[in-house]
Amino acid sequence: MKKFFTILGTVVLLLVALALIFNEPIKEYAVSRISDYHLSSLTVNKVKKNENKKGEFDFKKVKPLTASQVAKASMNNDAAVIGKMAVPSVKLYLPIVKGLSDNSLSTGGGTMKEHEKMGQNNYALAGHYMTAKGALFSPLENAQIGDLAYITNMKHVYTYKVFYKKIVPPTAVYLLDDEKGQKLLTLITCADGGTNRWAIQASLVSTMPANKSTLAVFSK
């Protein structure tokens, strides 16, 4: 019986992968479902538990989002979700996940540095670009200077205001550096078909306790 379910699971995974390969909207729908699940189920206790997990922070291992990657994440998603993010002006609502593993980047925005903390220094997140109106970090290409971006660890809500948006080469890693006396949020995604990167930076404008009222901003 165990062997039967193993074979059945493999067949189902293969069928999902094939569907994703031949249908981009299905892939985006699957990613959205993964993200929505984690957004709706995240708690303070889950964040605390996931913060202790190890993450993958090797930029060189990050590859374009594939159908098989999404299929695997759909079947068995163990991404370490440690918060939520929102840029309401472009309708971006995603989980924040520890590290840059395939599972993490199939789920939401991944932390780019191992020991970064919300509301401190330069909090940097990376996410996949899918299509012009796609899921994950795709909407960021429509963000504007002055837009507000929010992140939360379910204990506090941090509000940032966008002051920088530019297409940069992949070598522009200086944007991840901490700046003395500044509390920043840096968001990175692909541009020009993956040749370059969109880089968006925002400065911290307020920190509030997380409660029903302040967490409402993370609801679609």
Residues 49, 3: Cα–Cα separation, whole Å:
33
Residue bearing tokens 């992140």: 151
Residues 82, 79: Cα–Cα separation, whole Å:
9
Residue bearing tokens 């067949």: 11
Residues 145, 119: Cα–Cα separation, whole Å:
20
Q: Which SS3 state, helix, strand or coil, does residue 29 take? A: helix
- What Å distances lie between residue 167 and 31, 62, 175, CA to CA? 25, 19, 12
Classify strands 122-126 and 109-111 as parallel, antiparallel or unpaired: antiparallel
Buried b (16+ CB within 10 A) or exposed e, 110-139: bbbbeebebbebbbbbbbbbbeeebbbbbb
Contacts with 163 (C-beta within 8 Å, 6 or more apart), sequence order: 145, 201, 202, 203
Active-site residue flag, 128: yes
Active-site residue flag, 115: no
CB 128 within 8 A of CB 143: no
Which sequence positions are flagged as catalytic? 128, 190
